[in-house]
Structure 1
Amino acid sequence: MLDRAEDRVRWRTSSYSNSEGGACVEVALSTLTRVRDTKDREGGRLDVPFTAWRAFTSALRQA
Structure 2
Amino acid sequence: MSDILTWFTSSYSDDQGGACVEVALEWRKSSHSDSERGDCVEMAACPHSVHVRDSKLGEDGPRFAVAGDAWTRFLGGVAA
Q: TM-score, normalised by structure 1?
A: 0.78
Q: Does 1:12 align with 2:28?
A: yes
Q: Which moved more, 1:48-57 or 1:23-32?
A: 23-32
30, 44, 64: which one pairs with 1:28?
44
Q: Percent identical across equivalent pairs?
A: 37
Deviation (angstroms), 1:10: 1.0
User: TM-score if structure 2 supplies the norm length?
Assistant: 0.63
Gaps of 5+ in 2: 1-6, 10-21
Structure with the higher helix share, 1 or 2? 1
Q: CA deviation at 1:51?
A: 0.5
> What is the alpha-carbon root mean square deviation over aligned residues?
1.9
Tell me the equivalent position of 1:37: 54
The count of residues paired between Structure 1 and Structure 2 equals 60
Structure 1 segments unaligned to the other structure (5+ residues): none
Residue-by-residue CA offset, 1:28-61 (whole Å, 9 max, x unaligned) = 1121010001111311101100000000000111
Could you list the runs of 4 or more consecutive aligned residues of structure 1 that deviate by over 3 angstroms after TM superposition?
A: none
CA distance in 1, matches of 2:40, 2:33: 5
